[in-house]
Amino acid sequence: MSERVIPLIDQRLVSVPARVPSVATAATGLLSDTRGRPLRDLRISVTDRCNFRCSYCMPKSIFDKDYPYLPHSALLSFEEITRVARQFVAHGVQKIRLTGGEPLLRKNLEILIEQLAALRTVEGQPLDITLTTNGSLLTRKANALKASGLQRVTVSLDGLDDTIFRAMNDVDFPVADVLDGIAAAQAAGLGPIKINMVVKRGTNDDQILPMARHFKGSGIVLRFIEYMDVGATNGWRMDEVLPSAEVVQRIHRELPLVQLGASAPGETAERWGYADGTGEIGVISSVTQAFCGDCNRARLSTEGQLYLCLFASQGHDLRQLIRGDATDEQLSSAIASIWQGRGDRYSELRASLPPDAGQGKRRVEMSYIGG
């Protein structure tokens, strides 16, 4: 087999300055983009570092000991994150997801969660605050996270077989420790817990049924994610994508499923319930079924770049405003004008692109802006 060439393009260098419009935009919570999509969901990356090296996200060949991670001074401080999050919330954001890299590697993360938990939506409600983690530090941190105001967690877990799991995280991390972390999160009341499993054909697709059996009836929702062509370093190939329809078929053959309605507008997962009423699973078909039509998600990178799409080729530099002399009103207007100009819908357009078109292109890495 010929070796894959994985080009490295440092996406962090590509950003456009965020401009303050000459006329201020009032924050009414009713912002919409060029396709009429509101802003509801903000994903904040709190670190670009991780203790795993999942090959689909941070392949070891690139994210090695010489990789130039961001220096601490480049990261937004908790106060800066909270300040910018407050402006997003005033524009209609109801849900904040902390991500990374591995978010639990950011020191004193509980302090940030406490600050975010004090924010209120336009309707005066608390935010829905959640966190996506690889679970490796959950046993140690679950109680403190709950106490700081975190409501729930999503844990990434790509299989139950220890050999397969160790190979996928590529740092030989045992699956038992993640399962302990999930149990600790459950005991701490960080629920309802979701589990994300990225499915790669030929690598872990034989884990679909064991995972479904394991979590059925546990109150935990298992979600299968199609392996995506995100970033430019993972050597993505279409033939390694296992379509969600096939995941559902494989499970349905042994554990009958019925389709359920969407839980909320903009929800990425299609929901399926076990016919015997013992819970549900979700499938996220980012490759085979575009869901850009109601995508209401914005992403803030670790250093304060605003991305309008997971597949964006450039960010909008909010940090320069945050660290400059911009007032809250100016920051808020800049965010509004960026969202109002948004037309991104990469997944919808993917079908018309040549196969594997993204590899080698300028594209932001998932470990930099989070999932």
Contact segment (CB under 6 A) with ligand SAM among 225-233, 243-251, 253-261, 321-329 equals: 225-233
- In this structure, are residues 262 and 6 in contact, taking their beta carbons and an 8 Å threshold? no
Alpha helix (H) ranges present in the chain? 78-90, 109-117, 138-148, 162-169, 175-188, 208-215, 244-254, 319-323, 328-340, 346-350, 366-369
Residue from 46, 178, 295, 300 touching ligand SF4 (CB under 6 A): that is 295
Chain CA centroid to CA 357, Å: 22
The SS3 call for residue 212 is: helix
Residue from 45, 134, 305, 332 touching ligand SF4 (CB under 6 A): that is 134
Cβ proximity to ligand SF4, 257 vs 284, nearer residue: 284
> Cα-flanking dihedrals φ and ψ of residue 114, to 5°?
-60, -45
Least separation in angstroms between residue 260's CB and ligand SF4 is 20
Structure token digits, residue 82: 């909270």
Which partner from the list ligand SF4, ligand SAM, none does 311 bind, CB cut-off 5 to 8 Å by kind? ligand SF4
234 binds ligand SAM (CB under 6 A): yes
Q: Are strands 305-307 and 315-317 parallel, antiparallel or unpaired?
A: antiparallel
173 binds ligand SF4 (CB under 6 A): no
371 binds ligand SAM (CB under 6 A): yes
345 binds ligand SF4 (CB under 6 A): yes
Distance from C-alpha of 9 to C-alpha of 339, rounded to nearest angstrom: 26
365 binds ligand SAM (CB under 6 A): no
Range 81-120, binding ligand SF4 (CB under 6 A)? 100-102
Residue from 130, 148, 151, 156 touching ligand SAM (CB under 6 A): that is 156
The H-or-E segment that residue 99 falls in is: strand 95-99
Distance from C-alpha of 42 to C-alpha of 306, rounded to nearest angstrom: 10
Range 127-146, binding ligand SAM (CB under 6 A)? 132-134
11 binds ligand SF4 (CB under 6 A): no
310 binds ligand SF4 (CB under 6 A): yes
Chain CA centroid to CA 12, Å: 18
| Residue ranges in contact with ligand SF4 by CB under 6 A | 50, 52-54, 57-58, 100-102, 134, 156, 291-292, 295, 297, 309-311, 344-347, 367
